[in-house]
């Protein structure tokens, strides 16, 4: 017998929130979603622990991933600016050697 399919995090979250909200019991959710009650119980515990950890840390600013992406955007913006300046220099240099460029149609 093979392993059961991997359940995406979004679906696990939906199931856990339904259990926490009292919309369904762990047993009902397990039967409906064809997973074990132990799995849903573990997901709920993990979910609650992660929420508690987030509240304890008091993070209100950007996540580490957001900071990484912002730094990458800044690096790429700078590289684009440098490339634009370099292109202008090349064009000016070419105009000096070849004369003014013809406008495109």
pLDDT of residue 57: 77
User: pLDDT digits over 4-54, tens only?
Assistant: 678 899 999 999 999 999 999 999 999 999 999 999 999 999 999 998 888
Higher pLDDT, 101 or 63: 63
pLDDT of residue 75: 94
61-89 average pLDDT score: 90
If you count them, how many residues does the chain have? 105
pLDDT of residue 95: 83
Q: What share of the chain is helix, strand, coil (3-state, %, to 5)?
A: 70, 0, 30
80-93 average pLDDT score: 92
Contact 32, 24 (CB under 8 A): yes
**Region of residue 58 (left: phi > 0; alpha: psi -120 to 50; beta: else):** left
């Amino acid at each position: 017998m093979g392993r059961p399919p991997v359940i995406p995090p979004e679906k696990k979250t939906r199931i856990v929130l339904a259990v926490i909200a009292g919309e369904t019991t762990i047993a009902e959710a397990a039967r409906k979603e064809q997973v074990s009650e132990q799995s849903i119980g573990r997901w709920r515990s993990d979910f609650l622990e992660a929420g508690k950890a987030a509240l304890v840390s008091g993070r209100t600013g950007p996540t580490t991933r957001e900071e990484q992406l912002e730094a990458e955007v800044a690096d790429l913006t700078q590289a684009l600016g440098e490339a634009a300046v370099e292109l202008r220099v090349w064009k000016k240099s070419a105009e000096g050697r070849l004369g003014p460029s013809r406008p495109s149609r």
